[in-house]
Amino acid sequence: MIALYFCKTEKRRQLLPEILRAEYGAPVQIIYGEGKPRAKNGEIFFNLSHSGGLCVIAVSPINVGVDTELLQTKHYKSILASLPAEEQREIAGDRSFFMHWTAREAYAKLRGIPVFALHRRLMYASGSMRLDGKTVPEKIAFCFERGAVTAVCAENTDFVIKTFHE
């Protein structure tokens, strides 16, 4: 089960070690560097994303990617025009655009690759992610909390929202 924790963006670096300790019962050494942050032992998986003042931290027993975007009107027409026609047909407004965008970002973050490196190779349509035209085994689930669209990507996307006292 994936645990999602929402917090203020400025608290993320302080809360991440505390959340990991609470989840795993012992301190977890976090390695920052190229790609996404990771636990030193490689058996603990987490990912985080922030938008505006909101941050989400996903903690999981399996590799996980997460992306969140505050639901707000943005100028995304140039990005929309670069998406495959099948994906463009499914996007009818801000919420559906952010669902597609966060799904792509969550998948890229799961893989530890910048989304723009995969942009032309990815398509999220009909509820599944495709890479180079082939459906990937990972699933996408969405959470609509705190005025944001949050996408979770993993082999199993069952999640629960947890709270951590800041």
pLDDT in tens, 40-94: 776 789 999 999 899 999 999 999 999 999 987 667 777 888 889 999 999 988 8
Tokens for 95, please give them. 């919420």
pTM: 0.90
DSSP notation for 4-55: EEEEEGGGHHHHHHHHHHHHHSS---EE-SSSS-EETTSS-EEEEEEETTEE
Question: Are 50 and 9 within 8 A, CB to CB?
Answer: yes
